[in-house]
Structure 1
Amino acid sequence: MGKLQGKTAIITGASSGIGAGIAKELAKEGANVVLAARRTEELDELRNAIKEHGNGEVLTVQTDVTNRQDIERLVKQAQEVFNHVDIYVNNAAQMLTAPVRSGKVEEWEQMIDTNIKGVLYGIHSVLPSMLERSSGHIINIASVSAFEVTKGSTVYSATKAAVQTISKGLEKELAKTGVRVTNISPGMVDTPSSKNNSWNTERKKLETKDIARAVVYAVTQPNYVNVNEITVRPV
């Protein structure tokens, strides 16, 4: 029996990359996983893969995290099927190269809407039921780009710094409520969105399972332990 048997986790941005990796690892530990993303074909493929190797049940819900109603519907469906949500992973993100001087306002808005508003919508939708049960865990996936800003990452880095700040403030707001908050900041991970990024080829990129294991570590701690911050970097 896995460490998360009987638990239910929602993972946004689950159709590929880090989100898919997290979903697989949580399922291996016995959790019921709710896969949320815009691309339904990829969600269906992941659902089938998890059913072969996971121990929990799988639900897919087409979701655009920039749409508040979509997020509310996602949480409602998860609760209807599994009764409650124990873990909510805010993973969906947009990583676009749009320096301020480029004037690419639409791309800035995409990152702000997905990386900041999407995180807040998720928290807003799932938190009341967690507080009512005095139990739950919110995982926010930030980035080391919040610490290290490049000339091409100004807006993206700003959004991930916002995620870190939201995590820090929320952890203080939820102290002694039974609801835990963990911020995870990955370095460069080998995902479809990182294929075109410049990278020192002498260093191996992280694998998605490296971030997934960090999530499992945080959510399997005793109830009195809150792992606030995890930074995962390549060697």
Structure 2
Amino acid sequence: MSPSTTAQFVPRFRTDVYPFIAPVKFRGSLQDKVTIITGAAGAIGQSLAESFAVAGTKLVLTYNRTPPPAELEARCLRLGAASVHFIKCNVAELGGCQSLVDQTLSLHSRIDILINNAGANALGPLHTLEPNKFVDALAVNLTGPYFLMSLVIPHFRQQSSGCILNIASRAGTVPIPYSTPYSTSKAALISLTSCAQKEIDIDGLGDKIHFYSLHPGGIKSAMTKEKYSEESVANLPEKVRKGYLEGFDEIYNDSPYLNGMICVALATGLGKEVLRGRYFDVNQDLEDILKQGEALKDNSDLYTLHTSFLGGLKNAGIPEGGYKKEDEFEFPGFEV
């Protein structure tokens, strides 16, 4: 497929569960697999739990301050989960992450799927944010996923299988003013995912161990509701407050199950040949994207973070014609 043809292709825009990712298609598809989901108490976490329950996994659901609702366990079991265990864990702490992995291995002797979903945000001008809020967002959104990835990857290598789904954000692909901690940490999470996959691929394990970062769609979660509350938005310059409040109702209308079922589909390996290590926006129709597999293989910039330069200059590698050694220059070039 030529670049011009690729540019003309536009995948369908999705906000809800559609036939290609219908739960009935994935019923029992991950039976006997063990799935860890962090941040399971929130709207995105609960929908992830229910989606993976349909796929028949053994669920290990984490929470920090707020436990998931009591009915979540019964609901997941009714949907098909082989088992459900809740573990309190602060993912920002290495000790907590180690304990989570140890407890999961003690329960099930293996880990097959890790979903780094726990998130934190802080809204406001960068120069007015309390430093601890910036650091806390980085700890939850980036350091925690790194801790858990570093702890489970050795097990994936040993068992020659495994999947990691990092819930990132579209905010990690574009600069979002007044949401700097969130955008910064999510951009780093997308990069972390890609780097880790490269290492797996180099070792020839990419067909068995696959990682993804995802934008989960616009979901009215507790975190987004708090972020866009009038109290929170009051910290912003007056000229942007109205836009933030109006944008919340306009953008955050997607079903959380859209993200849940996309994650299930990817965990089964459905798109690993062309999407592993990449960033995926769940609002794009997965069926449409996978039909463009050859275009994805031909263009390593698609669904990744990258920098573009004038004239098509490359960001890395040897330029066309090779390196030219310039004439020697004695600094500063004039008598002093």
Instruction: Give TM-score scaled by structure 1 length.
Output: 0.92
User: Which residue identity is paired with 1:182?
Assistant: Y
Larger proportion of strand: 1
- Paired position in structure 2 for 1:187: 217
Indicate the residue corresponding to 2:91 in structure 1: 65
Identify which of 221, 230, 235 aligns with 2:280: 230
Give the letter for the 1:219 counterpart. Answer: A
1:132 maps to which residue? 158
Query: What residue in structure 2 maps to residue 210 of structure 1?
Result: 258
* CA gap 1:27/1:108 in 2 versus in 1, 3 angstroms: same
CA distance in structure 1 between the aligned counterparts of 2:251 and 2:67, rounded to whole angstroms: 33
Q: Percent identity?
A: 26
8 Å Cα contact 2:59/2:81 also seen in 1? no
CA distance in structure 1 between the partners assigned to 2:195 and 2:251 by the alignment = 34
- 1:27 paired residue number: 53
Q: Trace 1:36-75 onto structure 2 (pairs within 5 A).
A: 36-39=62-65, 41-42=67-68, 44-75=70-101
RMSD over equivalenced CA pairs, Å: 2.1
Q: Provide the C-alpha distance between the structure 1 equivalents of 2:67 and 2:97, rounded to a whole number of angstroms.
A: 19
Does residue 219 of structure 2 align to residue 169 of structure 1? no
Q: Which runs of 4+ in 1 moved over 4 A?
A: none
Change (3 A) 1:74 1:28: same
Would the aligned equivalents of 1:5 and 1:56 in 2 still touch at CA under 8 Å? yes
Distance 1:38 1:200 in 2: 26
Structure 1 residue 9 and structure 2 residue 57: aligned?
A: no
Rounded Cα–Cα distance in structure 2 between residues aligned with 1:180 and 1:204: 29
Helix, strand or coil at the partner of 2:123 = coil
Deviations 1:173-192 (A, max 9, x none): 11122311111123321212
**Distance of 1:139 and 1:203 partners within structure 2:** 23
Unpaired segments ≥5 residues, structure 1: none
> Hey, what does 2:141 align to over in structure 1?
115
One-letter code aligned to 1:118: G
Which structure has the bigger radius of gyration? 2
Q: Greater CA deviation, 214-223 or 173-182?
A: 214-223
The one-letter code matched in structure 1 to 2:211 is V
Alpha-carbon distance change, 74 to 203 in structure 1, aligned in 2, over 3 angstroms: closer
Gaps of 5+ in 2: 1-26, 229-244, 286-336
Q: How does 1:124-163 map to 2 (within 5 A)?
A: 124-163=150-189
- In the alignment, what sits opposite 1:99? 125
Between 73-82 and 218-227, report the one with greater CA deviation. 218-227
Q: Which amino acid is 1:195 matched to?
A: K
Q: Decide whether aligned partners of structure 1 residues 215 and 77 sit closer, same or farther in structure 2, where only a CA change above 3 A counts.
A: same
